[in-house]
Homo-oligomer: A and B are copies of this chain.
Amino acid sequence: MPRLRLALAQTNPTVGDLEGNSRQIVEAARRARAAGADLVATGEMSITGYPIEDLASRPSFLSASKQAVQELAETLAAEGLGDLPVVVGHPDGPFEPRLLDTSNAPTAIAKNCASVLLDGRIVTTTAKYHLPNYSVFDEYRVFIPGDELLVVRIRGVDVALIICEDLWRDGGPVGRVMDAGAGLLLVINASPWIADKDEVRLPLVTRRATENDTLVAYVNIVGGQDDLLFDGDSVVVDGSGAILARAPQWEEHLLVAEVEADASANRTLPAGIRRVDVAGPAYSGDDARSPAPAADIAELPDDLEQLWNGLVTGLRDYVGKNGFRSVILGLSGGIDSAVCAAIAADALGASRVYGVSMPSQWSSDHSRSDADDVAERIGVNYSVEPIADLVAPFESQLKLTGLAAENVQARARALILMGLSNLDGHLVLTTGNKTELSVGYSTIYGDSVGGFAPIKDVPKTMVWELARWRNAFALAQGLVEPIPSNSITKPPSAELRPGQVDQDTLPPYDVLDGILDAYITRALGAADVVALGYDAAVVAEVTRLVDRSEWKRRQGAIGPKISGMAFGRDRRLPITYRPSGL
* A binding-site residues for B, Cβ under 8 Å: 14-18, 20, 49, 51-55, 57-61, 63-64, 99-100, 102-108, 132-135, 137-138, 140-141, 165, 168-170, 194, 197, 200, 225-226, 317-318, 321-322, 385, 389-390, 393-394, 397-398, 400-404, 407-408, 411-412, 414-416, 418-420, 422-423, 444-445, 449, 451, 521, 523-528, 551, 554-555, 557-558, 564-565, 570-578, 580-582
B576 to A226, Cβ gap below 8 A? yes
Copies per complex? 2
In the complex, what's the smallest C-beta–C-beta distance from A515 to chain B, in angstroms?
14
Q: In the complex, which of the residues A225, A523, A524, A558 has the most CB atoms of chain B within 10 Å of its own CB atom?
A: A523
Q: A226-B575, A445-B445, A554-B558 are in contact. List 4 more A-B contacts (CB 8 A).
A: A15-B577, A102-B132, A105-B570, A389-B393
**A445 contacts which chain B residues (CB < 8 A)?**
414-415, 418, 445, 449
A51 to B106, Cβ gap below 8 A? no
Chain B residue, CB-CB nearest to A404: B422
A103 to B197, Cβ gap below 8 A? yes
**A385 contacts which chain B residues (CB < 8 A)?**
397-398
B577 to A49, Cβ gap below 8 A? yes
Chain B residue, CB-CB nearest to A134: B105
CB within 8 Å for A14 and B576 given contacts A133-B141, A135-B105, A527-B60 = yes
Q: Which residue from B15, B168, B390, B398 sits with its C-beta under 8 Å from A416?
A: B398
Docked Cα-Cα span, A499 to B214, in Å, equals 73
**A14 contacts which chain B residues (CB < 8 A)?**
576-578
Chain B residue, CB-CB nearest to A580: B16
Q: Which residue from B55, B420, B580 sits with its C-beta under 8 Å from A582?
A: B55
A sample of 22 cross-chain residue pairs with beta-carbon separation below 8 angstroms, ordered by A number, consists of A17-B578, A18-B580, A52-B574, A59-B523, A60-B581, A61-B525, A61-B582, A99-B132, A100-B169, A102-B169, A103-B197, A105-B135, A105-B570, A134-B141, A140-B141, A385-B397, A389-B393, A389-B397, A404-B419, A407-B418, A415-B415, A451-B551
Docked Cα-Cα span, A423 to B200, in Å, equals 50
Chain B residue, CB-CB nearest to A191: B103
A397 to B390, Cβ gap below 8 A? yes
Docked Cα-Cα span, A400 to B390, in Å, equals 14
Q: Which residue from B169, B420, B565 sits with its C-beta under 8 Å from A106?
A: B565
Chain B residue, CB-CB nearest to A383: B398
Q: Which residue from B55, B321, B415 sits with its C-beta under 8 Å from A576?
A: B321
Docked Cα-Cα span, A170 to B106, in Å, equals 18
Q: Which residue from B400, B422, B576 sits with its C-beta under 8 Å from A322?
A: B576
Docked Cα-Cα span, A54 to B135, in Å, equals 10
Docked Cα-Cα span, A105 to B575, in Å, equals 21
Chain B residue, CB-CB nearest to A48: B577
Docked Cα-Cα span, A194 to B105, in Å, equals 11
Docked Cα-Cα span, A133 to B57, in Å, equals 13
B61 to A573, Cβ gap below 8 A? no
Docked Cα-Cα span, A564 to B106, in Å, equals 9
Q: In the complex, which of the residues A54, A200, A404, A574 has the most CB atoms of chain B within 10 Å of its own CB atom?
A: A574
Chain B residue, CB-CB nearest to A525: B60
**A106 contacts which chain B residues (CB < 8 A)?**
134-135, 523, 565, 570-571
B573 to A53, Cβ gap below 8 A? yes
B575 to A524, Cβ gap below 8 A? no
**A574 contacts which chain B residues (CB < 8 A)?**
15-16, 49, 51-53, 55, 225-226
Chain B residue, CB-CB nearest to A523: B58
Chain B residue, CB-CB nearest to A98: B134
B523 to A102, Cβ gap below 8 A? no
Chain B residue, CB-CB nearest to A581: B60
The 5 closest A-B pairs by CB, nearest first: A60-B525, A104-B564, A105-B135, A404-B422, A16-B577
In the complex, what's the smallest C-beta–C-beta distance from A446 to chain B, in angstroms?
9
Q: Which residue from B20, B51, B398, B415 sits with its C-beta under 8 Å from A411?
A: B415
